[in-house]
């Protein structure tokens, strides 16, 4: 391998004449030369009369017979998840120095308490909803 990499015989050379002979098939053409229909036309279902069906015909809306239908994962227990979000948004609850815990002002250790409150509420709601 004493010759430079660009002069090695196994390296393919660019031939501009070969590029001119290649022609790309038209968009949508198959190998056999026939054009395929666009996807939205090929996938369209037809009535027996030959008319195309609309999406509404294929999937009629499912409406409940009476009343409001709740999602299967909806639960009133989820409202408890607002507690650890709203309480830290009220600075009047923790904007003070006393009482201090291990020399830390109330402001700092209350933030840690809010983190434990959030994990406790999330665990409680998860166990109730499960």
pTM over 0.85: no
| Residues 101, 109: Cα–Cα separation, whole Å | 7
The terminus-to-terminus CA distance of the chain in angstroms comes to 68
Domain ranges of the chain: 77-129
Q: Which residues of 10-23 are buried (b: 16+ CB within 10 A; e: fewer)?
A: eeeeeeeeeeeeee
- From first to last of its 130 residues, what are the pLDDT tens digits of the chain? 566 666 666 655 656 555 555 566 666 566 555 555 555 555 455 556 666 666 666 665 666 666 677 777 788 899 999 999 999 999 999 888 899 989 999 999 999 999 999 999 999 999 999 8
Q: Residue 94 contacts by C-beta under 8 Å, 6 or more apart in sequence?
A: 88, 106, 107, 110, 111
pLDDT at position 39, please?
54
Cβ neighbour number for residue 105 with a 10 Å cutoff: 14
pLDDT at position 73, please?
75
């Amino acid at each position: 391998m004493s010759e430079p990499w660009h002069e090695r015989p196994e390296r393919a050379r660019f031939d501009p004449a070969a590029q001119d002979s290649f022609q790309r098939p038209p968009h949508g053409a198959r190998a056999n030369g026939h054009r395929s229909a666009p996807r939205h036309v090929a996938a369209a279902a037809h009535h027996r009369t030959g008319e195309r069906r609309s999406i509404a015909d294929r999937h009629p809306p499912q409406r409940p017979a009476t009343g409001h239908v709740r999602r299967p994962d909806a639960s009133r227990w989820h409202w408890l998840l607002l507690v650890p979000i709203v309480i830290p948004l009220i600075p009047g609850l923790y904007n003070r120095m006393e009482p201090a815990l291990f020399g830390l002002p109330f402001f700092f250790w209350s933030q840690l308490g809010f983190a434990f409150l959030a994990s406790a509420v999330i665990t409680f709601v998860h166990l109730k909803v499960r």
